[in-house]
Amino acid sequence: MPQKIEKIVLSYSGGLDTSIILKWLQQTYQCEVVTFTADLGQSDELEQARQKAETLGVKDIRIVDVREEFVRDFVFPMFRANALYEGQYLLGSSIARPLIAKHLVGIAREVGADAIAHGATGKGNDQVRFELATNALDPSLRIIAPWREWSIQSRTELIEYARMHQIPVPKDKRGEAPFSIDANLLHTSTEGKVLENPAEIAPAYIYQRTVDPVDAPNEPEIVVVGFEKGDAISLNGEAMTPAALLTALNKLGGKHGIGRVDLVENRFVGIKSRGVYETPGGTILLAAHRGIESITLDRAAAHLKDEIMPRYAALIYNGFWYSPEREMLQALIDHSQTYVSGEVTVKLYKGSANVIARVSAHSLYSLDLVTFEEGSGTYDHHDAEGFIKLNGLRLKNWAARNGKSQSLLGSELMSTF
């Protein structure tokens, strides 16, 4: 018999897993379960989640539209860093977890619950993210992770349990058990089933919000993204709220087949997993943000950001959004964005989002300095001579010591490495 719990707040998507969890919690803990469903722009039928929770006997059903909060307070701060995990993953699921945890904790306090529960499995990153965030926000709250407690060991057994308890099992477009999908305003992630074999090519029907680049329009589309202090604020000159802007970029990106990534990633728990991500708007946003930074950030500032970026991305991936080290890095990143304002023109075409023009009132770009024509004389070509001489000094010294100065070409040089 588990420890006595008075009231639980469950992170409830309305999907198969969390519906079963809801039932299981009620039976196992014999206490009230309050459900929290975040409207993250996943475009699922949220009303369906309400109905399901009602059918399962929930009295206190919370469905909260957190789209603006999600983009403004989580996605945008992360994009200021150009965060990418392992060079490819835009962290669409990772960044939603701390926001969900924040609301679970808030509701738990409001209704006097002593525990929160989530539907993340015992093999994934999401359990870590939910729980570390909860630890940081309210150390006194208990956390129930049914996937680590119950005797159900697999998706097959889960579906069996659902059938036994009259919980409807959703089907995918082909009438089969669905993939493991996580969707929000930033991305759709698809895992499991045939994708578990990384040697198998992902079937075309798994993609949900992007067209195949091959089928994208044959005409490119040009868009202008406006930035202020590192955050996108307008699209084609029209001011927009963070969520509205990301929604608009998603539509454009989806239409042009932008932001599909098929990868194998290293989970925090030590497992490699294969996933397919669709991040249409985020992919455009990253390109545009790098575009505006390219003219507004000093070289050393930009390079420092790039050095800390993988570290920052790993913190978010591993569930340390609420941590002193993430806050410290965020302060550095936010400070760097003081002059990251202006407009970037991006060309969307068959799966690609390429920056083709950028402009800023705070630009550091100096035509006078860079021009192949005659400049005003600020840059003296002769300075470059001494600059190269001194930088080359130690290389000459090194080469002389190695005795290779006479044969700089070919295999002999290569063999010294």
The least distance separating ligand ARG from the CB of residue 11, rounded to whole angstroms, comes to 13
How far apart CA 100 and CA 66 sit, in angstroms, is 9
17, 94, 260, 273: the active-site residue? 17
Q: Give the CA dihedral 142, 22, 318, 241, nearest 10 degrees.
A: -110
Catalytic residue among 11, 62, 80, 126: 126
**Which residue number, 277 or 339, has a Cβ lying nearer to ligand ARG?**
277
Which of these is catalytic: 62, 97, 274, 326? 97
Given the residues 11, 180, 189, 273, the one annotated as active site: 180
How many angstroms separate the CA atoms of 201 and 121, rounded?
A: 25
What is the maximum alpha-carbon separation in the chain? 84
Residue labelled with tokens 């860079």: 370
CB 47 within 8 A of CB 36: no
CB of 258 to ligand ARG, least distance (A): 19
Amino acid at 247: T
Q: How many CB atoms lie within 10 A of CB 385?
A: 10
**Minimum CB–partner distance for residue 159 and ligand ARG (Å):** 16
**97 included as an active-site residue:** yes
Residue 110: DSSP 8-state: H
108 CB-contact burial (10 Å; exposed 0-12 / middle 13-18 / buried 19+): buried
Task: Name the residue nearer to ligand ARG (CB basis): 58 or 276.
Answer: 276
The residue among 131 and 293 lying less far from ligand ARG, judged by its C-beta, is 131
Query: Strand order in 115-117's β-sheet?
Result: 61-65, 32-39, 7-11, 115-117, 142-144
Question: Cβ neighbours of residue 151 under 8 Å, at least 6 residues apart?
Answer: none
Six-digit token string for 257: 């087949």
Between residues 100 and 292, which has the closer beta carbon with respect to ligand ARG? 100
Query: Minimum distance from CB of 182 to ligand ARG (Å)?
Result: 4
CB of 268: closest distance to ligand ARG in angstroms? Answer: 8
Q: Which is nearer to ligand ARG, 126 or 343 (CB)?
A: 126
| Phi/psi of residue 75, nearest 5 degrees | -65, -50
| Chain residues that interact with ligand ARG, rule: CB under 6 A | 93-94, 125-126, 180-182, 189-191, 273, 275
d(CA 280, CA 286) in angstroms, rounded, equals 10
Sheet holding 238-239, edge to edge: 238-239, 231-235, 221-228, 342-349, 352-359
Report in angstroms how near the CB of residue 112 gets to ligand ARG at its nearest: 30
CA–CA distances in Å: residue 401 to residues 165, 243, 329, 404: 78, 60, 42, 8
Q: Which is nearer to ligand ARG, 69 or 278 (CB)?
A: 278
Rg for the chain (alpha carbons), in Å?
26
Active site residue 60: no
Is the CB of 115 or the CB of 181 nearer to ligand ARG?
A: 181
The answer to whether residue 180 is catalytic is: yes
Q: How far is the CB of 377 from ligand ARG (least distance, A)?
A: 53
Distance, CA of 356 to chain centre: 25
158 vs 223, beta carbon nearer ligand ARG: 158
Residues acting as catalytic residues? 17, 97, 126, 180
